[in-house]
């Protein structure tokens, strides 16, 4: 279930400031990573992000989908796997 849920999440870089992204993101899409002064990675369920991207493109605002290999980095959905991820990272050996 967790893997399926995470793979339904989309990350896309958009040509908006952090404040613009906070104001313009529709429900279910959130600013997730403040990349630079004028680009933000947004995160959310694929269908919601896709609709938002379509609207931004119609306004000629830059968008670029992030290939995250099916992992919802910079997403609230990472909270689901955070405990298991933390345990796994604590057991990584370094040589």
One digit per residue, the tens of pLDDT, for the chain of length 95 reads 445 455 678 899 999 999 999 999 999 999 999 999 999 999 988 899 999 999 999 999 999 999 877 666 777 777 887 898 889 889 988 77
Q: Rounded to an integer, what distance in angstroms lies between the CA atom of residue 44 and that of residue 75?
A: 7
So what's the architecture of 2-90 in CATH?
A: 2-Layer Sandwich (3.30)
Q: How far apart are CA 30 and CA 49, in angstroms?
A: 9
Q: Where are the domains of the chain?
A: 2-90
Residue 82 exposed, middle or buried by CB count within 10 Å (0-12, 13-18, 19+): exposed
Give the contacts of 37 (CB within 8 A, at least 6 positions apart): 17
Given this model, what pLDDT does residue 4 score?
46
pTM, two decimal places: 0.77
User: To 10 degrees, the CA torsion angle through 20, 25, 26, 29?
Assistant: -170
User: Quick one: pLDDT at residue 70?
Assistant: 63
């Amino acid at each position: 279930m967790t893997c399926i849920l995470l793979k339904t999440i989309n990350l896309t870089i958009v040509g908006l400031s952090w404040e613009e992204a906070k104001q313009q993101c529709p429900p279910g899409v959130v600013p997730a990573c403040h990349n630079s002064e004028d680009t933000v990675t947004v995160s959310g369920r694929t269908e919601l992000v896709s609709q938002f991207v379509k609207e931004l493109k119609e306004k000629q605002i830059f968008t670029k989908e992030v290939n995250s290999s099916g992992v919802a980095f910079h997403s609230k959905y990472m909270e689901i796997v955070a405990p298991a991820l933390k345990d796994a990272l604590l057991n990584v050996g370094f040589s």
